[in-house]
Amino acid sequence: MPTKDRPRHMSTDLAIKDVAERTGIAAGTIRMWEQRYGFPAPGRTPSGYRRYTEEDVDALRKVLALRHRGLSVPAAISRAQDAGATSDHPSIYAAVAAQDSGARPLILKKATLVALSKAIEHEALALAAAPVVFGAFQEERFYRRVERRYRRLALHADAAAVFADFPGGLRHPDGAPAEIPIATDDALGNEWAVIVDAPGYAACLLAWEQPGVTVPGGPDDAQRRFEAIWTIDPEATRRAAQVAARLAGRADPDFGERLEELLTDRPLALEEPAPALTALTNRMVAYLEAAGD
């Protein structure tokens, strides 16, 4: 299976051990895929060592997400290549992870993400005036469990949208967030997101699931593992909201245009970001996570 030609951004210079750590795929598996399927296609140093890019990391994560949904390795690689990695089907998580927002990725259990999401949502209900709100839930059943809270958020929001595998297609329910269906090749199908962008309050929680740890909705569902970023940096939150708006615009161009106009016109939540507070919060979460093991 030949690998399509694509520009390589050599400003990123990742060794195979770095890629293995960031994707959860063993280095030996990455080398095997390269030999068997021509994917990924790393550059080489003069001494012959493999060097990978951020695009390689994103593409490998997409393959894992597709494998998690039942595709074979060749089919998942082919789908990831045909989709152009994440360029046509953007990842909210990757867009923010690439920025230096003071947020350090942490490996968290789903149970911890649920608690953090609830905290952000409740704080938004208490503090955020006229926010733009996005949520990504992977599966519709997960959204329905918290739909009441998102309806409350939508009542006070300038705009709100949620993403999941909604079977009925695009919907704009009265007094509720727009329901945006996730396509089978969307990176967002393997992600978790809570984004609140308001003039006086900004926060986002973004996570990428590590496939294969346990089955969604199964008896060990709360133990599913995610690589997660939590931040109150207004610029990082705005970046996440802009990517989410583009994704919504694929399903509903008029709604997407409205979202982008709202985000363009509104001021950032704070004049100065607070990376130190983000770092401290991440440390607290890490301690809580370790105590729960």
Length of the chain, please? 293
pLDDT in the model for residue 137? 93
88 phi, psi to nearest 5 deg: -90, -20
The per-residue pLDDT for range 48-67, each reduced to its tens digit, is 888 898 888 888 888 887 77
CA 34/CA 263 separation, integer angstroms: 41
Contact in structure between 211 and 64 (CB atoms under 8 Å): yes
What are the CB-based long-range contacts (under 8 Å, 24+) for 18-22? 18/52, 19/52, 19/56, 19/57, 19/60, 22/57, 22/227
Query: For 52, which DSSP code?
Result: B
Contact in structure between 169 and 203 (CB atoms under 8 Å): no
pLDDT in the model for residue 83? 57
pLDDT in the model for residue 100? 57
Domains contained in the chain, CATH given: 16-82 (1.10.1660.10), 92-292 (3.30.870)
Q: Is 3 helix (H, G, I), strand (E, B) or coil?
A: coil
Give the residue among 198, 255, 207, 262 at the shortest CA–CA distance from 229.
207
CA 40/CA 60 separation, integer angstroms: 8
Does a cis peptide bond (omega within 30 degrees of 0) precede residue 40? yes
Contact in structure between 164 and 138 (CB atoms under 8 Å): yes
CA 161/CA 259 separation, integer angstroms: 10
Q: Which region, left, alpha or beta, applies to residue 287 given φ > 0 means left and ψ of -120 to 50 means alpha?
A: alpha
pLDDT tens digits, the chain, 293 residues: what are they? 433 333 333 335 889 998 988 888 889 899 888 877 778 888 888 888 888 988 888 888 888 877 776 677 777 777 676 655 444 446 788 778 766 556 678 888 888 888 888 888 888 888 778 899 999 998 999 999 999 999 999 999 999 999 999 998 899 999 999 999 987 667 788 889 999 999 888 889 999 887 665 555 566 666 788 888 888 888 889 999 999 998 999 899 999 999 999 998 788 876 554 554 565 466 656 656 665 55
CA 20/CA 58 separation, integer angstroms: 12
Q: Which segments within 65-177 are labelled E, that is strand? A: 106-109, 132-136, 159-164
